């Protein structure tokens, strides 16, 4: 009886050891399975990333060619009936880069920091403002009531000229050199608008209809000039597009080129 009790007590002491062993094995097996699964997912992830980076990931990674890529610029020249041999040579040689850089440096010297920037008889308006702002400035110029005093303008315009640190409208007139530049609009308009612009700038594209409305409303009063100000740090295609416009100008088609490029940019697709 004593021996039986001793065997029962040994079984009771040993039981936790005996039954815990299978539990540990199951846990280790589960951890192994999870580890293998994680390794599998990691391998699949790297394989997918490699596939995407190699350009074989399907339509989601296809990049549309820029409307103003060099190849498209040459296509437009052909479509417009330009002498493509001369145009392509002009564009490929980079011979117009100096003129583009000169315009940009001149704009910076006048205080232009971004695009579009407009000098309306020397009064600076920076940004894609609505037509009503241009109209107010132009009408005062035509009426002889233009002023360098910010408070002489509407409260809407005063918002943009009252802060000296943020002059989106600066009524203090500056002289802007336009000699040897091609103009459009009135031949000798009482109001001269000089636009510093970038062919890749979305705000310049947005401003185009406004400028077209200005030309429509003031056909005999406003003369428009265009100066290059490509923001090359953020618009990689802008420099060549600017050069291309000057190559087109050599063949007497600057404004036709200007309108076509901005029209295509507005549509957001090459034609």
CA 227 to CA 104: how far, in whole Å?
8
Tell me the average pLDDT across 240-244: 98
Mean pLDDT across the chain: 84
Tell me the average pLDDT across 206-233: 97
Looking at the predicted structure, is the pLDDT value of residue 75 above 70?
Answer: yes
pLDDT interval class at 265 (50, 70, 90): confident
pLDDT interval class at 267 (50, 70, 90): confident
For the chain, percent of residues with pLDDT exceeding 90: 69
For residue 35, what pLDDT is reported? 63
Using N-to-C axis directions, what is the helix angle for 84-93 and 70-79, rounded to 10°?
160
Helix (H, G, I), strand (E, B) or coil at 79: helix
CB atoms within 10 A of CB 255: 17
The CA dihedral of 121, 124, 127, 129, to the nearest 10 degrees, is -60
Residue with tokens 């394989």: 47
For residue 65, what pLDDT is reported? 82
For residue 9, what pLDDT is reported? 40
Classify domain 70-267 by CATH architecture: 3-Layer(aba) Sandwich (3.40)
Nearest to 221 by CA among 139, 144, 125, 157: 139
CA 256 to CA 233: how far, in whole Å?
27
The mean-pLDDT minimum among 40-44, 117-121, 128-132, 185-189 falls in: 40-44
The tokens describing 109, both together, are 């010297």
Return all residues near 225 (Cβ < 8 A) that are at least 6 apart.
178, 181, 182, 183, 192, 193, 194, 195
Helix (H, G, I), strand (E, B) or coil at 126: strand
CA 65 to CA 58: how far, in whole Å?
16
147-156 own/partner pairs: CB under 8 Å, 24+ apart:
147/171, 148/172, 148/173, 156/132
Record the pTM. Answer: 0.76
């Amino acid at each position: 009886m004593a021996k039986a009790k001793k065997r029962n007590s040994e079984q009771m002491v040993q039981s936790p050891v005996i039954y815990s062993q299978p539990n540990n094995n199951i846990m280790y097996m589960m951890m192994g399975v999870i580890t293998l699964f994680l390794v599998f997912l990691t391998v699949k992830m790297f394989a997918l990333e490699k596939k995407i980076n190699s350009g074989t990931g399907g339509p989601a990674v296809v990049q549309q060619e820029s409307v103003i890529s060099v190849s498209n610029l040459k296509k437009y020249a052909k479509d417009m009936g330009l002498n493509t041999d001369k145009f392509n040579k002009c564009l490929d040689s980079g011979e117009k880069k100096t003129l583009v850089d000169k315009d940009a440096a001149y704009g910076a010297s006048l205080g232009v920091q971004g695009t579009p920037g407009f000098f309306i008889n020397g009064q600076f308006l920076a940004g894609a403002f609505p037509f009503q702002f241009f109209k107010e400035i132009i009408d005062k110029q035509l009426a002889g009531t233009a002023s360098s005093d910010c408070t002489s303008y509407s409260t809407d315009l005063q918002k943009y000229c009252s802060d000296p640190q943020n002059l989106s409208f600066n009524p203090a007139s500056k002289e802007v050199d336009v000699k040897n530049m091609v103009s459009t609009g009135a031949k000798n308009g009482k109001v001269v608008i000089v636009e510093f612009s970038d062919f890749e700038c979305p705000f310049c594209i947005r401003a185009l209809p406004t400028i077209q409305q200005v030309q429509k409303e003031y056909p005999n009063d406003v003369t428009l000039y265009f100066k290059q100000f490509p923001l090359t740090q953020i618009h990689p295609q802008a420099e060549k597009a600017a050069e291309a416009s000057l190559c087109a100008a050599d063949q007497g088609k600057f404004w036709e080129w200007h309108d076509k490029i901005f029209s295509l940019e507005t549509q957001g697709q090459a034609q």
